Amino acid sequence: MTIVTGKAEARRRLQSGRSGVLWKMWEHRADYAYVLPAIAVMLIVIAYPIYYTIELSFFKTPPGLQLRDKIYVGFDNYTNILTSPVFWKVTWNTMIWTLASTFISFVLGFGSALALHRDFIGRGVLRAILIIPWVISAVAASYIWKWIYHSDFGVIGAVLVGLGLADRPPNFIDNVSTVLPSLIVVNIWREFPFAMIMMMAGLQTVPEQLLSAAKVDGASAWQRFWHVTFPHLSSVSTVTILLLAVANFNSFIIPWIMTGGGPSNASHIWITHIYELAFGRQLWGVASAYSVLLFLILMTLGYFYVRALSGNERKEGSA
């Protein structure tokens, strides 16, 4: 008896709790109408693909997208990936690519923002020019740089030969050891303006009074930067770095167009590798398993992203 009443009690409590939320949702029913179009589109195009990718990662799929004939293989795809040497090569490339691109883009962008913070003649024009690489298509950027790096007629090679730094034009992108750094230079070219814009906006929020107070107290330019400006920008910097890291981790176009991952996987990063597995070799199951792993990594990054963002909001609320 007591057990039954205990259960009933619990159920009642559960129901009332749930109906509390439901009641609240019902009270706000009109509000959902505003969000509904966005949610509906995203459910179809985002939720379904994620579910499907997870499902497919447990199957072996014959080529040709005849996905009805897929065979269940459990975790085989995962173990195959984690034991293959290509996986570790590509992971290493991805780490170098993401860390180097993110760090250097941020430093160059932050530096430009600082240098552009003070008013001078032509500041607007200069700022506009520096942002242009970010606006133009990555495909166009890839072709421009591919031509600059060209092994016979590339302008960088010609300059190096002209200055006597090389006997013959170096081969930048058909060389296992130079290809990744060369592509990172292109990526930074496109990415640093983003960091610059974000940090420029951040700089505008640094209170002038604090800076002049520090000056009156005899702080040097470096001290003012390090003790006033920089701490003030910590949350903007976090968000910027995270956004850059995610974007770089997800890069595809530049390596794909410029090298296609070659020579001998030296410029393959995760995304290009997954693409090749799926659409080049039609290994849908393996590619899906890769995607799920990628997903997990991104969720981890995403956790920090959300935390950084909600940290911002909290600070704002208290201010």
Partner 1 sequence: MSTIAGTAPRGQTRRRIRVDGWRWAGRIFLVFMLLYTALPMIWMLITSIKSGFAAMQFPPQWWPDEPTLASYQKLLDPQNSVGQDFLRFFWNSLFVSTVTTILSVIVAVPAAYAFSRFRFPGRNFLFFAVLLRNMFPAVIFLVPLFILMRMLGLVNTHGSLILTYLTFGLPLAIWLLKGFYDNIPVQLEQAARIDGATRFQAFILIVMPLSTPGIIATAIYSFIGAWNEYIYAYTFLSKNEQLTLPVGIQRFFSENTTDFPGLMAASFMMSVPVVVLFLVLQRYFVRALTEGAVKH
**Binding window for partner 1 (CB under 8 A); candidates: 6-14, 92-100, 174-182, 308-316:** 308-316
For partner 1, give the closer residue by CB, 100 or 294: 294
Residue 16 in the binding site for partner 1 (CB under 8 A)? no
In angstroms, the CA 52 to CA 284 distance is: 11
Binding mask 35-54 for partner 1 (x = CB under 8 A): x-xxx-xx-xxx-xxx-xx-
User: Could you tell me if 318 and 245 are in contact, meaning their C-beta atoms sit under 8 angstroms apart?
Assistant: no
Residue 261 in the binding site for partner 1 (CB under 8 A)? no
For partner 1, give the closer residue by CB, 180 or 274: 274
Q: Which of 2, 66, 83, 204 binds partner 1 (CB under 8 A)?
A: 204
Residue 8 in the binding site for partner 1 (CB under 8 A)? no
- Provide the residue type at 136 as one letter: I
Phi, psi of 72 (to 5 degrees): -70, 130
Question: 101-140: which residues touch partner 1 (CB under 8 A)?
Answer: 108, 111-112, 114-116, 118-119, 126, 128-133, 135-140
**Binding window for partner 1 (CB under 8 A); candidates: 11-19, 84-92, 95-103, 234-242:** 234-242
In angstroms, the CA 70 to CA 56 distance is: 9
- Provide the residue type at 67 as one letter: L
For partner 1, give the closer residue by CB, 179 or 186: 186
For partner 1, give the closer residue by CB, 14 or 25: 25
User: Could you tell me if 65 and 49 are in contact, meaning their C-beta atoms sit under 8 angstroms apart?
Assistant: no
Length of the chain, please? 319
Provide the 8-state DSSP code for 229: I
Q: Positive or negative CA dihedral for 302, 94, 186, 272?
A: negative
